[in-house]
Amino acid sequence: MPILKRALFTSSLLFLPFALCAALPPCSIHPPKGASQDELVRLSKISEQEARSIALATVKADETPIVKSAELEVEHGCLVWSYDIKVPGQNGIHEVFIDAGNGQVLSRSHETEKQEQAEQKQDMQGQPK
């Protein structure tokens, strides 16, 4: 690899953590590292049912969307309700993050089946988000 390409590649890796921190807009609850699931539940101001309704409202579909998984978790330092939503007749999963403090939609994305499987594998290996 030529020196210039190697230098550009290496310098881009240095900025990767900063790009990941900017992945979500500002959130209202930043739990301490290592907080237990019980602590996360106590910190949450939005119920799972409220967050579910908000997440489902973000997915536009002709058929009724189905929540495949729901989890209260820390994502990029923010306490969020995370939803994987399947729309019948569409490929992949809609992933929606709801701020567990104020109900704001922090992120909404569509993942292919392959991307979803890679994320599940990463979760099983305990890699940080």
- pLDDT value, residue 116: 77
Closest CA to 57 of 91, 94, 92: 94
- pLDDT value, residue 7: 45
Give the SS3 label for residue 120.
Answer: helix
**Domains recognised in the chain with CATH numbers:** 25-124 (3.10.450.40)
> What are phi and psi for residue 22, nearest 5 degrees?
-90, 10
Residue ranges, the chain, pLDDT below 50:
4-22
- pLDDT value, residue 127: 61
pLDDT in tens, 96-117: 999 999 999 999 999 887 887 7
